[in-house]
Amino acid sequence: MKKKRETPKPKKKLDAYIEGAGIVEQKNIVDTLEENYMPYAMSVIVSRALPEIDGFKPSHRKLLYTMYTMGLLKGDRTKSANIVGQTMKLNPHGDQAIYATMVRLARGNGALLHPYIDSKGNFGKAYSRDMSYAASRYTEAKLDSICTELFGDIDKDTVDFVPNYDNTLTEPVLFPVRFPSVLVNNNIGIAVSMASNICSFNLREICETTIALMRDPDHDVSATLRGPDFPGGGFIVYDEDEMQKIYKTGRGSVVVRGKYTFDKEARCIEITEIPPTATVEAIMDKVLELVKLGKINEISDIRDETDLSGLKLTLDLKKGKDPDELMRKLFRLTPLQDAFSCNFNILIAGNPRVMGVYEILNEWIAFRIECVRRMIYFELGRKKEKLHLLLGLKKILLDIDKAIKIIRETNEEAEVVPNLMIGFGIDEIQADYVAEIKLRHINREYILKRTEEIDDLKNEIADMEETLESPRKIKKYIIDELTEISEKYGQPRRTLFAEAFEDDGEETVETIPDYTVNCFLSAEGYFKRITSQSLRMSGEQKLKEGDEIIFEQELSGKTDLLFFTDKYQVYKSCVNDFADTKASLMGDYIPAKLEMEPNERIVKMMPTEDYSGHIILFFKNGKCAKVPLSSFETKTKRKKLANAYFDGSELISMYLLPEDRDFILQSAAGKVLIFNSALVLPKAARDTQGVQVMRLTKTELRSAKPFEEGMIDNAESYVTKAVPVAGTMAKLDIDQITFE
């Protein structure tokens, strides 16, 4: 049978389905911009470009939280491509944008003072414009150990969580960071009509400053926070007024200068640290441009010798040219000296605010206090729930047989909980908990063990409630956290301080001041140079806990300083290498400033202007060496001398000897002798083992000090005019002998 052909329905006009179609309206372009551009601008400002009080932008936070949920805080590294793919569940951007964010956070890139990602493979370098990072399929990564302080309390309701873009997952609004990470790592962001440029500060100094502000809101930040500390090192040309402006307003500039050394034998300058705003390629391009223009004629060749050991830019000098004069030109004309413009623009409660260091740290303290309170509330709720269940279990202890009988004689399962509630006077939650206990646990021993926790829980709950009501206790909790983090992750400063050159308009000439200053050295290796006027106006010396002053003397600015270390090395410096400081500051940390080896400790500092006199050294084996101070003088500007003294026996003490004098020695066996240093002939070799002064048998030299009249009674009985001798037993008890 033939199917009847259907008559097609007439098509309805499109205008009938679209309201207002075909109507043209005139609209003010300003209104169009407001309606379309302003929402976009606010989105960029609030949700993309500016960091928040935890120190992270949304892209950083999404990436790090994804790695945390992947178990990469303690697990092994995984391919970066895997991390990027997982992050796309939270971040709806392309994989290249996510990977670029990851590269900047990685240790291998070197852009951060304390990297958040432990990387393996080629992640490029922050100081290079052309050194590209490898593709994500070739590199591996995991979270660095410092991320423990980002996520420690995140599962305890310390921060709010929001749904991701497709409502399938949740992500934190902020991280409950346990230290002011917003100032510890640098952050740059460009929004619409505004930007943010935050420099990094030393972790130890930031923690110390935060603690001081929590104890005293009027604390002077500059007393504990010396200035920015950049990942690439270099020197800050210190300007106290500009630094105070940054601390108070969040705006200002920091002039950073590269670091260099001169190899006299090879006649080349090696640049190993550059400003954070410069790259090796930009510096080379500018130097070559200046050479072509004839503004620099001291250089015969320039090479980029950067390798796995780090950055190195080498400049070969022509014969007879002054390296220091050349470097002053380069600092003035190239990016080897550049300004870092600070703009501390941070989102606070969704609103951008430019704040100084004072205000940022106070905002972080308020944020962290709220995190700690929320964490305590969370823990308090859990403990109260547990206590509630255990109190119900305790009632069962009164008659276990009755509980079993109620359960056994109940016909329907749904009636078990109501019957237990009636039988023991407990609520539904407690009854349900009892009903779920395994049969093997329905015994007196199990229930007694569980209910023993009740008293401890009550005490913990009371302590938590007391803490919540006491701002002082919450601050004490945060201070303890900051102290622990400072000790665990703190590092010596990478960026040191230098004085500005005087510029006459054509050449930069550095003037060396020569006036008397008061110099101090502490046992921990902190050096201070303080003018007499500043010292008279100062209070007590600022020192680390447990530290003490071991050297204090007025010295000329041109005095050379020899720092002897426990690694048998001496490091040379000059009083003028240090900037004037205050007693209220910690001072320069010598191991960092002079680039000492890890764990190398200063044992003695010797000042000299003309390298006259001798150094006398006493060793545990009873030997004494006398070395002319001129043996430590060098014609070059070498800063480090190896084999500075004999390493065959432990050093007991060393002294600067302008002229011969008497010394008193004491052995561990209690014998004492007094001798004149003229009995020891000087040896030019720095590492000479010296001569035997005290004859020792089954004992060792305990101390050696300059002798003064009145130090010990009947001193003539201990004097010797020939060495070596065994010494004489002291008539007084050893602990009663007073040494200088």
- The DSSP symbol for 201 reads B
Distance from CA of residue 295 to its chain's centroid? 41
**Measured torsion, CA atoms of residues 198, 199, 202, 204, in degrees rounded to the nearest 10:** -10
For the chain, give the number of residues: 740
Specify whether the CB–CB gap between 680 and 626 falls below 8 A.
yes
Tell me how far apart the terminal alpha carbons of the chain are, to the nearest angstrom. Answer: 129
Query: Helix 80-87 to helix 58-69 angle, to the nearest 10 degrees?
Result: 110
Q: Order the strands of the 313-317 sheet from edge to edge.
A: 259-263, 268-273, 313-317, 299-304
Measured distance CA(629)–CA(611) in Å, rounded = 5
| DSSP result, 55-109 | S--HHHHHHHHHHHHTTTTTS--EEHHHHHHHHTTT--S-HHHHHHHHHHHBTTT
Measured distance CA(443)–CA(432) in Å, rounded = 18
| DSSP result, 264-306 | TTTTEEEEEE--TT--HHHHHHHHHHHHHHTS--SEEEEEE--
**Residues sharing a CB contact under 8 Å with residue 453, sequence separation 6 or more, in sequence order:** 386, 390
Q: What are the distances in angstroms from CA 418 to CA 42, 66, 385, 391, 600? A: 56, 45, 20, 17, 72
Q: Which amino acid is at 32?
A: T
CB-count exposure of residue 266 (10 Å: 0-12, 13-18, 19+): exposed
Specify whether the CB–CB gap between 691 and 723 falls below 8 A.
yes
Q: How large is the greatest C-alpha to C-alpha distance in the chain, in angstroms?
A: 144
Residues with catalytic annotation?
138
Measured distance CA(583)–CA(595) in Å, rounded = 24
Measured distance CA(626)–CA(616) in Å, rounded = 4
Measured distance CA(426)–CA(417) in Å, rounded = 10
Specify whether the CB–CB gap between 480 and 406 falls below 8 A.
no
Distance from CA of residue 154 to its chain's centroid? 23
Q: Which amino acid is at 405?
A: K
Specify whether the CB–CB gap between 47 and 167 falls below 8 A.
no
| DSSP result, 605-642 | EEEESS--SEEEEEETTSEEEEEEGGGG--SS---EES
Measured distance CA(247)–CA(628) in Å, rounded = 49
Q: Which of 169, 257, 150, 224 shows the shortest CA–CA distance to 496?
A: 257
Specify whether the CB–CB gap between 392 and 430 falls below 8 A.
yes
φ/ψ (deg, to 5) at 185: -120, 140
CB-count exposure of residue 596 (10 Å: 0-12, 13-18, 19+): buried
Specify whether the CB–CB gap between 725 and 673 falls below 8 A.
yes
- Collapsed DSSP state (helix, strand, coil) of residue 553: strand
Give the strand pairing for 570-574 and 560-565: antiparallel
* DSSP E strands, 419-575: 496-498, 502-503, 508-509, 517-522, 526-530, 549-555, 560-565, 570-574
